[in-house]
């Protein structure tokens, strides 16, 4: 891995100075912002940083999107569907901008970092005020200042990516949150756009991570998720600290934190050192999100995943041996170019063997510029849909069987919100539990006895 390039303190200071100038101008106008995130946790966490910068600029979070003075779309381009949703939603704002020219509109994130995408969007939607790519996040106040003074701004730089420390963050939760440990990705899986729009993989220094997590725990956060496209390949402090070592540091140096999570793990880097660290450290959640993508070694090779079915199954067996209560979840792509019935059956049999707690399933979506987009893809859409449904049916049966095994057990959960008349909570493994209770329990740990279940969740009561 190449040495990470840190954004200089002078640049961060210039950005903060711009934020201060905007604030001096707007502080008594009561202006508000609204952010829409379309992507993964990384994207959501970037939105929390945008929110932090907006607050530094004197804007408050809008109660209601329809009344916001600044609306920004933080885009994703992982699949076509994510892109289409954004276009529709930006187009829908034209009328509002005509009625209220004071309204400011921004578009940022991964989709804008794709070749020419930012420029095209800037041209196609002349009522959009600011467009910027993933490499400009820390410069957002400078761009915003220009746009606030009436100058439409487009900024997308094609570069390897840097690390910006010290950005303000306005977090969506008061008890469970995220911390980046790596940015970018070097894996170039043949279907995936992320390495092109997030730049080369780079690791934050462990001291910066530990300090941030410590601050969060002291501020009352109970759970922190360490984030990266591939956390297992973390190599911080000039490549001297690996991920298991980082996990131990966070665990031992922040005893106030009740739960430590991480995602995503790439099977090629799931080391025995990581399994040992997870098994030994009591406050590290026994949950691994370990995307397999396909159960066919032939397809895995075409995907450039650097492991095969046997190696994956071996790792899963090892992890389960050391952590009998381990919760395993995965991502699967159905209908990769050239996937045959036989390849697909390998995916089904792998799921039967591993018995995942949950799957995130996607139909292959060709992404311009990736090798897989150029591969021959003769399988009809209807056949891909049929495979997709069959995989979901298989998993639904397995999830239900696993859930039934929880009935009668008492589990420690962190209450995270309310859906209609029930509170929602998560077990250490990330299982969703619903039970009746008062809103004052949100953000608290509780022991809940499981009395029933559905395919998607456990149902319980507080004794």
Q: Which residues bind ligand SF4 (CB under 6 A)?
A: 185, 187-189, 192, 194-195, 229-230, 266
Instruction: Examine residue 192 and tell whether it contacts ligand SAH (CB under 6 A).
Output: yes
CA dihedral 77, 79, 80, 81 (to 10 degrees): -100
Polymer length of the chain = 463
Instruction: Examine residue 248 and tell whether it contacts ligand SAH (CB under 6 A).
Output: no
Instruction: Examine residue 229 and tell whether it contacts ligand SAH (CB under 6 A).
Output: yes
Those residues whose C-beta lies under 8 Å from the C-beta of residue 108, and which sit 6 or more positions away, are: 50, 72, 73, 74, 75, 130, 131, 132, 133, 134, 136, 137, 140
Q: Count of residues binding ligand F3S (CB under 6 A)?
A: 12
Residue closer to ligand SAH by CB (options 36, 331) is 331
CA dihedral 313, 333, 176, 173 (to 10 degrees): 180
**Contact assessment for residue 357 and residue 327, using Cβ atoms and an 8 Å cutoff:** yes
Gap between the Cα atoms of 173 and 366, Å rounded = 35
Instruction: Examine residue 305 and tell whether it contacts ligand SAH (CB under 6 A).
Output: no
Contact with ligand SAH (CB under 6 A) among 105, 154, 247, 333: 333
Long-range CB contacts (< 8 A, 24+ apart) of 347-350? 347/294, 347/295, 347/296, 347/391, 348/295, 348/390, 348/391, 348/394, 349/295, 350/292, 350/295, 350/309, 350/312, 350/313
Residue closer to ligand SAH by CB (options 127, 362) is 362
Phi-psi region of 239 (alpha: psi -120 to 50; beta: other; left: phi over 0): left
Residue 75 Cβ vs ligand F3S, minimum distance, rounded to whole Å: 7
Contact with ligand F3S (CB under 6 A) among 7, 35, 40, 108: 40
Residue 79 Cβ vs ligand SAH, minimum distance, rounded to whole Å: 5
Instruction: Examine residue 227 and tell whether it contacts ligand F3S (CB under 6 A).
Output: no
Contact with ligand F3S (CB under 6 A) among 43, 47, 179, 457: 43
277: nearest Cα among 226, 222, 211: 226
Instruction: Examine residue 184 and tell whether it contacts ligand SAH (CB under 6 A).
Output: no
Work out what residue 45 binds among ligand F3S, ligand SF4, ligand SAH, none; the CB cut-off runs from 5 to 8 Å by kind.
none
**What tokens appear for 457 in the block?**
């969740």
Instruction: Examine residue 110 and tell whether it contacts ligand F3S (CB under 6 A).
Output: yes
Q: Which residue is nearest to ligand F3S (CB)?
A: 39
Gap between the Cα atoms of 59 and 103, Å rounded = 13
Gap between the Cα atoms of 216 and 210, Å rounded = 10
Binding mask 65-94 vs ligand SAH (x if CB under 6 A, - otherwise)?
A: -------------xx---------------
Binding mask 66-85 vs ligand F3S (x if CB under 6 A, - otherwise)?
A: ----------xxx-------
Instruction: Examine residue 367 and tell whether it contacts ligand SAH (CB under 6 A).
Output: yes
Look up tokens 């809008």; give the residue: 62
Instruction: Examine residue 175 and tell whether it contacts ligand SAH (CB under 6 A).
Output: no
Instruction: Examine residue 42 and tell whether it contacts ligand F3S (CB under 6 A).
Output: yes
Work out what residue 222 binds among ligand F3S, ligand SAH, ligand SF4, none; the CB cut-off runs from 5 to 8 Å by kind.
none
Instruction: Examine residue 107 and tell whether it contacts ligand F3S (CB under 6 A).
Output: no
- Sign of the torsion formed by the C-alpha atoms of 111, 117, 118 and 122: negative
Interface stretch with ligand SAH, choices 2-10, 211-219, 361-369, 414-422 (CB under 6 A): 361-369
**What b/e string do you get for 378-403 counting C-beta neighbours within 10 Å, with b at 16 or more?**
ebeeeebeebbeebeebbeebbeebb
Residue closer to ligand F3S by CB (options 80, 341) is 80
Residue 429 Cβ vs ligand SF4, minimum distance, rounded to whole Å: 22
Which residues in this chain contact ligand SAH in the complex, by CB under 6 A?
78-79, 191-192, 194, 229-230, 264, 266, 291, 293, 331, 333, 362, 364-365, 367
Q: Interface with ligand F3S by CB under 6 A: which residues? A: 39-40, 42-43, 76-78, 110, 193-194, 197-198
């Amino acid at each position: 891995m190449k040495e990470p390039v840190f954004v200089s303190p002078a640049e961060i200071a210039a950005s903060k100075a711009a934020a201060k100038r905007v604030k001096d101008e707007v502080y008594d106008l009561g202006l508000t912002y609204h952010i829409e995130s379309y992507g993964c946790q990384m994207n959501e966490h970037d939105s929390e940083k945008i929110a932090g910068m907006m607050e530094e600029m004197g804007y408050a979070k809008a109660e209601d999107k329809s009344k916001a003075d600044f609306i920004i779309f933080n885009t994703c381009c992982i699949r076509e569907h994510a892109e289409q949703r954004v276009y529709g939603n930006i187009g829908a704002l034209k009328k509002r901008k005509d009625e209220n020219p004071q309204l400011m509109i921004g578009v940022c994130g991964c989709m804008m970092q794709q070749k020419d995408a930012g420029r095209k969007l800037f041209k196609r939607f002349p009522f959009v005020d600011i467009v910027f790519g993933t490499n400009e996040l820390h410069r957002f106040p400078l761009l915003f200042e220009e746009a606030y003074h009436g100058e439409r701004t487009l900024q997308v730089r094609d570069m390897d990516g840097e690390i910006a420390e010290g950005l303000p963050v306005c977090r969506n939760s008061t008890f469970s949150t995220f911390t980046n440990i790596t940015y970018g990705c070097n894996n170039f899986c043949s279907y995936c756009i992320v390495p092109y729009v997030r730049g080369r993989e780079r690791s934050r220094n462990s001291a910066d991570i530990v300090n941030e997590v410590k601050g969060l725990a002291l501020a009352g956060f109970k759970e922190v998720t360490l984030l990266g496209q591939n956390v297992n390949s973390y190599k911080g402090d000039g490549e001297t600290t690996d991920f298991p070592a980082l996990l131990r540091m966070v665990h031992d140096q922040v005893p106030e934190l009740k739960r430590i999570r991480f995602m995503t793990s790439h099977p090629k880097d799931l080391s025995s050192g990581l399994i040992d660290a997870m098994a030994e450290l009591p406050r590290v959640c026994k949950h691994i999100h370990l995307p397999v993508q396909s159960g066919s070694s032939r397809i895995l090779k075409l995907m450039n995943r650097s492991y095969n079915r046997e190696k994956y199954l071996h790792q899963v067996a090892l992890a389960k041996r050391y952590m009998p209560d381990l919760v395993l979840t995965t991502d699967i792509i159905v209908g990769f170019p050239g996937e045959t019935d036989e390849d697909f059956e390998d995916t089904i049999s792998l799921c039967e063997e591993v018995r995942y707690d949950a799957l995130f399933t996607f139909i292959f979506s060709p992404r311009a510029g990736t090798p897989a987009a150029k591969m021959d893809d003769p399988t009809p859409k209807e056949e891909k849909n049929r495979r997709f449904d069959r995989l979901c049916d298989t998993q639904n049966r397995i999830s239900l069987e696993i859930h039934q095994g929880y009935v009668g057990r008492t589990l420690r959960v962190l209450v995270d919100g309310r859906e209609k008349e029930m509170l929602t909570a998560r077990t250490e493994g990330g299982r969703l539990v619903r039970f009746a209770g008062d809103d004052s329990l949100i953000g608290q740990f509780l022991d809940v006895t499981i009395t029933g279940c559905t395919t998607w969740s456990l149902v319980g009561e507080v004794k």
